[in-house]
Amino acid sequence: MNRISRVVVKIGSALITNDGKGLDHQAITQWADQMAQLRLSGVDVVLVSSGAVAEGITRLGLHTRPRSIHALQASAAVGQMGLVQAYESCFQKHGIQTAQVLLTHEDLANRQRYLNARSTLRTLLDFGVVPVVNENDTVATDEIRFGDNDTLGALVANIIEADLLIILTDQKGLFDSNPDQNPNAKFIQKADADDDMLMSFAGSSKGNLGQGGMQTKIIAAQKAARSGTHTVIASGREEDAIKRVVKGESLGTFLTAAKGQMAARKQWLAGHMRCAGELVLDDGAVRVLQNSGASLLPIGVKAVKGEFKRGEVIACVNTNGSEVARGLVNYPSDETRKIIGHTSKHISGILGYVDDEELVHRDNLILLG
């Protein structure tokens, strides 16, 4: 791995709150000290921190994680105060400014807001600030949330084109089976982030504080790899874990971005968690997309699902319903339904106008899988 100049550090709820006992200020101080030393040495650092909901639960005297979305949002609002105060005081000891950045899925799904978020984060880094990023749980709902901060960490890594994503957890890293159940479980020291075998090794979260398990961390590593970002999953309870990982020490599980960097616009497309609609492609259109790098034409589409506007992100699925690509559609759903199955030269006669010969241009299309 080459010299690290830009890193995203994600710290999970179990670590931040010492398994739900409230903010672990001693641990937070140690992590902040390490990140501050990196920042002072010239490394850009963005912190993605869980813990707002868990801290709010503790401050409100609740014994279990609320199920109601409003109670969760209230917990997040209360807990965010303590979380930000803790980080700010730690970094100020080193003369480093911090900034709170709260994001929702909608912020990154909308192209303009995505570019605004990217500009803000990069400007903060230019000023030598350490941004502290979290999901905006006080306004996010199940329909628009990331669901876990592992995913958020990966998307932030895409936005700033980080060299490394460090996911600190309460586990040593990734094993080929659950080490709590299998004493012979083999530790995975290094692997390709896109290795299909990894998901079969990972189990779901065994805690009730956070939303992410080892599976979400592998998915995060795969998303981070789109911007050429390597990922390390390591125990946050290891002494100087952040510094040691950045120095290249073999600590935790190292998941490499083997395929290289994807174009920024296509990273944004791939990062969408939800699409506005679907286009069902015939087998011929699927082959052309996958083998020729061509645009999607109306003649290759069999059906349209959902309602969408021109310029929204839609999924392209095969006849079995598996997503093969996604992209920005050039016509709204009502007009798309009229022109599918026809050649491009017939668009003008059907709609009375023609803006584009393609339903999705190849520059605005990304293949999946």
pLDDT, tens digit, 9 for 90 and up, residues 278-331: 999 999 999 999 898 889 999 999 999 999 988 888 999 999 999 999 988 999
pLDDT higher than threshold 90 for residue 72: no
The pLDDT value recorded for residue 209 is 39
Q: Collect all residues with Cβ–Cβ distance below 8 Å to 266 and sequence separation of at least 6.
A: 226, 366
CA distance 159 to 117: 8
The CATH architecture of the domain made up of 275-367 is: Roll (2.30)
What percent of the chain stands above pLDDT 70?
91
pLDDT, tens digit, 9 for 90 and up, residues 4-36: 899 999 998 888 887 767 788 999 999 999 999
The pLDDT value recorded for residue 208 is 41
CA atoms within 13 A on the CB side of 149: 28
pLDDT higher than threshold 70 for residue 264: no
pLDDT higher than threshold 50 for residue 143: no
CA distance 67 to 333: 36
Residues in the chain: 369
Contacts 24+ apart (CB under 8 A), 180-185: 180/206
pLDDT higher than threshold 60 for residue 99: yes
Buried b (16+ CB within 10 A) or exposed e, 63-91: eebbeeeebbbbbbebbbebbbebbbebb
| Options 3.20.20.80, 3.40.1160.10, 1.25.40.10, 3.90.1300.10; CATH of 6-267 | 3.40.1160.10
Residue with tokens 């709204």: 332
pLDDT higher than threshold 60 for residue 237: yes
Sketch the domain layout of the chain as residue ranges.
6-267, 275-367
Instruction: Name which residue leads in pLDDT, 66 or 20.
Output: 66
Instruction: Name which residue leads in pLDDT, 237 or 111.
Output: 237
pLDDT, mean of residues 348-357: 92
pLDDT higher than threshold 60 for residue 146: no
pTM comes to: 0.79
pLDDT, mean of residues 340-368: 91
The amino acid at residue 168 is L
pLDDT higher than threshold 60 for residue 141: no
Integer-rounded Cα radius of gyration of the chain = 22
pLDDT, mean of residues 177-191: 85
* Of the ranges 110-119, 139-148, 350-359, the best mean pLDDT one: 350-359
pLDDT, tens digit, 9 for 90 and up, residues 28-62: 999 999 999 999 999 999 999 988 888 888 899 88
pLDDT higher than threshold 90 for residue 106: no
The pLDDT value recorded for residue 369 is 63
The pLDDT value recorded for residue 334 is 95
Lowest-pLDDT range of 91-100, 200-209, 217-226:
200-209
pLDDT, mean of residues 188-213: 69
